[in-house]
Structure 1
Amino acid sequence: MRSPFPPGSSHTAYRTALVTGASSGIGESFARILAGRGTDLVIVARRAARLDELARELVERYRVAVEVLAADLTDPGQRGEVEHRLRAEPVELLVNNAGFGAFGAFAGQPLDDQLAQVELNVLALMRLTRAALPGMVERGRGGVLNVSSMAGFTPSPGSATYGATKAFVTAFSESLHAELAGTGVHVTALCPGFTRTDETQESSLLWLRREDVARAGLDAVSAGRALCVPGAQYKAALPALRAMPRSLLRAAVNRMWRQAADTR
């Protein structure tokens, strides 16, 4: 199949990919875009029925191979099956998209919910990356796209654990990107702002379309970039966030959180 990128492009066209959290939202968009580019897929999520439906659609429409792997990545045994799949049958691209967050003051939220966020957003991402990277390095080809968030660049009152996990994902990804320089393997952190998971809703100044976010991330990892912030509004905001004194930033996000909490 022809490369989706023009001759002479610096982008890499991946022949195989594994996408987590692929049953809906940005993960589904990753799967659709990759299938459209001729990439054979392994799609992972908890909802087997939804994965089966998506796989049938992608196979029929794009004539690619799609393997369904239903797994809860917070469950060590099920996560281990995905790790084994990555080691036994390597892919050229790993998209660590699965993740979730919860809203509310940390002291008032169940500890198990907070730990589950760490388990999925951090531990599962680390373990799958570790399972995939050695084979990629050995072959001198591959990519890992880790879905982080703009929340990782700021304090996140009301979603402290989520923000902390995303700060980890960004730092982890940028560090691996530096470690792997010259190996032919690229690790990219995708840091979107507010993203609509329902494509029937209209986009706005703050809200991004999930398809645009997924495409930006895939293009970034295939081009070998360490960091991707999709959306002109968020690209413009990032330097200001990094330059602002932390005390002022904390005060600003705290006001926003309290206003949001008052409307709930």
Structure 2
Amino acid sequence: MASSKRTALITGASSGLGAEFACQLAANGYDLVLTARREDRLQQLAESLQTRYPISLTIFPADLSNLTDIEQLASTISNLPQLDLLVNNAGFGTVGRFYRVDPAKELAMLNVHITASVMLSRAALPGMLSCNQGGIINVSSMAGLVPIRNVLYHSTKAFLISFSEVLSNELRGTGVCVQALCPGFTITEFHDTPEYTRFTRRSIPRFLWLTSKQVVAESLTSLPTGKLVCIPGTVYKIGGAFARNSFSAGIIKYIAGLIINKPKAL
């Protein structure tokens, strides 16, 4: 994937996996377009990367829960002279019973995880297909393979896997690769929100935690091989293999349920 003349666009780039994608792609010579809600964080990251690497870098502040922002970013993608890699990384989670979670947050999640990923991929493809090369990474989750609770989060992540699978089939032979990246527990700011305080490195076994560097490195190494579903980490690879097998999926769901504790009473 390394090239000094390629361009990547990363959503949710201000922290976590998005920022790590930016760092590793910049180190590989990619020019970058970075988008996220927090303009100040984007600017700090851009300045850091441009100090370290001879790359062109553009920031595009956007809130992908907002349809207008999604449409504007899609238009920007359509007008890029070149886009070699799209990383649909933006995302967030909600915790709680389906009927209790704020519906506004759930609708926002649908836009961020599904609407944005679909529309941005659609905008990126004509240019990639005209060059007979390119890549789309949809950041899903092990939650998409092991549905337990937090209904819409798990469901939207499962959609990203299915979307990637069908899109990959449609693009077979075009030179454009699609990947569904399915990390497990990863050390990022994702778990720093009040909703996720119970899922800390003290409450989840240490061997289940991955680093952003590990997840992104495995994703970028896997993409050119054409492997559709990328599951970083040996433990998660084993779990993912069982989860995708109908005979053993129930066992994996049971074990995962024990790890994240029993749900609270209704």
**TM-score interval (norm. to shorter):** 0.7 to 0.9
Q: 1:56 aligns with which of 15, 34, 47?
A: 47
- The answer as to 2:175 corresponding to 1:184 is yes
Q: CA deviation at 1:52?
A: 0.8
Specify the code of the residue in structure 2 equivalent to 1:171: S
2:13 equivalent to 1:32: no
Moved over 4 A (4+): 245-258
Identity of aligned residues (%): 40
Give the secondary structure class of the aligned counterpart of 2:74. Answer: helix
Q: Give, in whole Å, the separation in 2 of the partners of 1:145 and 1:220.
A: 11
Normalised by the size of structure 2, how large is the TM-score?
Answer: 0.87
Distance change >3 Å, CA 38–CA 109, structure 1 → 2: same
- Superposed CA deviations along residues 103-123 of structure 1, whole A, max 9, x for unmatched, are 111111111111111111111
TM-score, length-scaled by structure 1:
0.87
Given the alignment, which residue of 142, 153, 157 partners 2:134?
142
**Structure-to-structure mapping, 1:1-264, within 5 angstroms:** 4=2, 15-89=6-80, 90-157=82-149, 159-197=150-188, 204-243=206-245, 244=247, 253-254=256-257, 258-259=261-262, 261=264
Relative to structure 1, the CA distance from residue 246 to residue 226 in structure 2 (aligned partners, 3 Å threshold; closer, same or farther) is closer
Match of 1:211, SS state, is helix
2-side partners of 1:38 and 1:124: how far apart? 26
Q: Which whole-Å deviations, capped at 9, do the CAs of 1:88-132 have from their partners, x for residues lacking one? A: 014110000001111111111111111111111111110100100
After TM superposition, give the deviation of residue 172 of structure 1 in Å: 0.5
Corresponding residue pairs, total:
250
Q: Where do 5+ consecutive residues of structure 1 fail to align?
A: 5-11
* Cα deviation, residue 78, structure 1: 1.5
3-state SS in 2 of match to 1:259: coil
Aligned partners of 1:52, 1:248: CA distance in 2, in Å? 45
Is contact 1:31-1:41 (8 Å) kept?
yes
Per-residue CA deviations over 1:220-253 (Å, capped at 9, x if unaligned) read: 2233221100000101112222334565555555
| Amino acid aligned to 1:107 | Y
